[in-house]
A and B are shown apart, each in its own frame.
Chain A
Amino acid sequence: MSSTIIATAVVVLAVFLAGRYIYKEKKKGSKCIGCPYCESCSKIDKDS
């Protein structure tokens, strides 16, 4: 029973955190999640 509760919490938390990260990055204007150069890409895009 406890393992079921923990597993459910892990799944919900993992999906929530992943979703929140993607949302935040997209709001910042990142084109590609996690890319080390995405900020420069977004900046160049704004320049045009």
Chain B
Amino acid sequence: MRIAFAGNPNSGKTTMYNALTGRSEKVGNWGGVTVGSKEYPIKEEYTGGKEVVAVDLPGAYSMSPFTPEEGITSEYVRTANPDAIVNIVDATNLSRSLFFTTQLLELGIPVVVALNKSDINEKEGTKIDVKKLSEKLKCPVFETTSTEGKGLKDVISNAIELVGGGQSAPYVQADINLQNKAEVDAEDRKRFSFVNDIVANVEKREMLSSETTKSDKLDGVLTNPIAGILVFAAVMWAVFWVSQAWLGPLVADWLVGWIETFQEWVAGKLENSPAILSALLADGIVGGVGAVVGFLPLVMVMYFLIALLEDCGYMARVSAVMDPIFKRVGLSGKSVIPVVIGTGCGIPAIMACRTIRDERERRATSMLATFIPCGAKIPVIALFAGAFFAGAGWVSTLSYFFGLLLIFLGALLIKYITGYKYRKSFFIMELPKWKMPSLKFAFKSMMERAKAYIIKAATIILICNTVVQIMQTFDWHFNVVEEGAENTSILASIASPFAILLIPLGFGVWQLAAAAITGFIAKENVVGTLAVVYGLTAFIDVDELEMTGGANNVAMATGLTSVTALAYLFFNLYTPPCFAAIGAMNSEMKSRAWLWGAIGLQLGTGYTVAFLIHQFGTLFTEGHFGNAFIPGLIAVAIMATAVILIGRKTRAHFDEKYRLHRDGKSGAAA
């Protein structure tokens, strides 16, 4: 037995689906979080032992799809013949929600209406006569609060009871010509009028939607093009400062103390064992993995704060502020959503590009979304901020907003290369109501991410560090490398050719090149590999309760200046993301040319940014350009020439694609 969960965006479908199935699918206080259908059996406590599968569908405003994800929903309920439909209705916005409800009721499939978010109605003094609404709609209606599990049992047991029966429709669409705009519009108006009559009969509001509330005034400021951006910058600075300069390091310090003690204990036990074993276990596995795990509290605090921002409804306001800028640089207004999601992880961000209709905009967004530093890059930022900039919170904020700037510049570059035919782009996003963020939700989100981080550290990073340690310990003849002859190791010989390319960027040593390369497997590996190749673990100082002390070892060991450290950090942040994210880009782009173009653009961006920072930073701080300025300039010039040539070639065919006249003559006149 299959029950489909359908309703408007942000009505709480996935929250209800998670509560019923025990799953933890991504939810958010905005529309468009779910972009594909998902199904899973409902817990037996709700079904009375029967096997019932819940199908969570993307939000839709009507059965006539406007967006691709709405298309998934309308196609599913029309063609997949679910046994029943649970229509989740946002009880705080009944008039808008019931338009879709009346369409679902016409399909003949049993429908149960769940009046979700009833708790908000109670607080706002809005009363809905459930019995009367049920009579008007000719189907069972129940008040629910998905976050508390209230009313869910009634909804499911009634849906099961109705299976096999039909469904009467309170409103039946007239037999109209669906290709005639005037007829369709008139029919929609009639349906709206029918819905409004029902709402007028069943709903009593204390607060009218026409009144300007405090929330409306706040939205006016937060969605203002200038004030909104300034507030966003301040909010992100606060998030990074709390997570990486204050609370995060405070907790991390305690954790690192334990890791260090454990590492010393392991090394002590292996005193009389072969050196390679001690290096492998104490330095490679415990030290390398410990270095990455040491940053876990910073990442956890950041995820907690981002979850609070998402849950209260703030991130939806950010989307509204960014929308005009994105459109101006040739992206879709919908490109905002992947960018906001990208703060957590690049892969779901790339996946979220699916909702963008235009192929060029979709590919461009999935190419650029990973410029926003994801959670995996936080340890790298925190390490360099701690070692070279006294743990300053501004480094993360700068990295974030510089990533945004690169997205805008990258979008303009793609627009130049591919050509751009002007067209109207629409982005409709309903601003969710402000609400007190749920600490439980934020805690759960944080713990899920923490679990993922630990699993990654204990699997991919552990194996990488072991391999790096072995490659560093042996030469190509499998002899143990003598002290002082580290340059003969397997790792050094592989990384050295890459290091030559990095000389113009100020960090042309094999250790840093090796760390950057392993970063493509998982960005946290940059920290793990640095710990292994330089024999460091205590990135966070135990005595000083801050990151500067221990992390200063990094500054001494690597020999980087603040300028070259910033160049190296940005190189790691803006070159291609991890392989998993590249795989996701491949799935979304469905074009080899675009994928290689994306990798080329990201490599070129990371290289050019690092080159400019190193060379001009050195010029400002030391009065002269850094090493290998001319070779670096030639490399950047070659990349720029390649972009110009590809752009010319592509745009030469652009006019042909859209031209209406052939050989300068109008086709109509010919």
Q: Among the listed stretches B446-454, B562-570, B596-604, which one makes contact with chain A, having 4 or more residues with CB under 8 Å of it?
A: B446-454
Q: At the interface, yes or no: B414 with Cβ under 8 Å from chain A?
A: no
Task: Considering the complex, give the chain A residue whose CB is closest to the CB of B454.
Answer: A34
Bound state CA distance, A32 and B545, in angstroms? 33
Q: At the interface, yes or no: B269 with Cβ under 8 Å from chain A?
A: yes
By the criterion CB–CB under 8 Å, are A7 and B456 in contact?
no
By the criterion CB–CB under 8 Å, are A37 and B462 in contact?
no
Bound state CA distance, A31 and B578, in angstroms? 11
By the criterion CB–CB under 8 Å, are B269 and A3 in contact?
yes
CB contact under 8 A between A14 and B587, given known A36-B24, A44-B36: no
By the criterion CB–CB under 8 Å, are A45 and B351 in contact?
yes
CB contact under 8 A between A11 and B458, given known A36-B452, A48-B587: no
CB contact under 8 A between A40 and B25, given known A4-B277, A32-B345, A48-B354: yes
CB contact under 8 A between A41 and B280, given known A15-B462, A34-B451: no
Shortest Cβ gap from A22 to chain B (Å): 5
CB contact under 8 A between A34 and B38, given known A11-B281, A41-B584: no
Name the contact of B285 in the complex, choosing from A8, A14, A36 (C-beta under 8 A): A14
Q: At the interface, yes or no: B180 with Cβ under 8 Å from chain A?
A: no
- Residues of A near B453 (CB, < 8 A) are 34
- Residues of A near B630 (CB, < 8 A) are none
Task: Considering the complex, give the chain B residue whose CB is closest to the CB of A36.
Answer: B448
Q: At the interface, yes or no: B559 with Cβ under 8 Å from chain A?
A: no
Task: Considering the complex, give the chain B residue whose CB is closest to the CB of A10.
Answer: B281
Name the contact of B345 in the complex, choosing from A7, A19, A35 (C-beta under 8 A): A35
Size class of the contact patch on chain A: 20 to 34
- Residues of B near A45 (CB, < 8 A) are 351, 584, 587
By the criterion CB–CB under 8 Å, are B38 and A33 in contact?
no
Interface SS of chain B: helix, strand, loop or mixed? helix
- Residues of A near B584 (CB, < 8 A) are 31, 41, 45
- Residues of B near A18 (CB, < 8 A) are 458-460, 462-463
Interface mask (A4-48 → B, CB under 8 Å = 1, otherwise 0) = 100110110011001101100000000111111110110111011
- Residues of A near B463 (CB, < 8 A) are 15, 18-19, 22
List residues 53-99 of chain B with CB under 8 A from any CB of chain A. Answer: 72
Interface SS of chain A: helix, strand, loop or mixed? helix
Bound state CA distance, A22 and B274, in angstroms? 29
Q: What count of chain B residues pass the 8 Å CB interface test? A: 42
Name the contact of B466 in the complex, choosing from A15, A43, A44, A47 (C-beta under 8 A): A15
Bound state CA distance, A44 and B463, in angstroms? 29
Q: At the interface, yes or no: B641 with Cβ under 8 Å from chain A?
A: no
- Residues of A near B331 (CB, < 8 A) are none
Name the contact of A40 in the complex, choosing from B26, B354, B448, B454 (C-beta under 8 A): B26
Interface mask (B248-271 → A, CB under 8 Å = 1, otherwise 0) = 000000000000000000100110
Can you pick out 28 interface pairs between chain A and chain B where the beta carbons lie within 8 Å of each other?
Answer: A3-B269, A4-B272, A4-B274, A4-B277, A7-B266, A7-B277, A7-B278, A7-B281, A10-B281, A11-B281, A11-B466, A14-B285, A15-B463, A21-B455, A31-B580, A32-B452, A32-B580, A33-B459, A33-B460, A34-B451, A34-B455, A35-B347, A37-B25, A37-B348, A40-B26, A40-B36, A45-B587, A47-B36
Residues of B that sit less than 8 Å from A by CB: 24-26, 35-38, 72, 266, 269-270, 272-274, 277-278, 280-281, 285, 345, 347-348, 351, 354, 448-449, 451-456, 458-460, 462-463, 466, 580, 583-584, 587
What 9 A-B pairs have minimum CB-CB distances, sorted nearest first?
A34-B455, A44-B36, A34-B452, A36-B448, A4-B273, A18-B459, A32-B580, A34-B456, A47-B36
Residues of A that sit less than 8 Å from B by CB: 3-4, 7-8, 10-11, 14-15, 18-19, 21-22, 31-38, 40-41, 43-45, 47-48
- Using A18-B460, A32-B452 as known contacts, list a sample of 10 further A-B pairs with CB atoms less than 8 Å apart, ordered by residue number in A: A3-B272, A4-B270, A31-B584, A33-B460, A34-B454, A35-B345, A37-B345, A44-B351, A45-B351, A48-B354
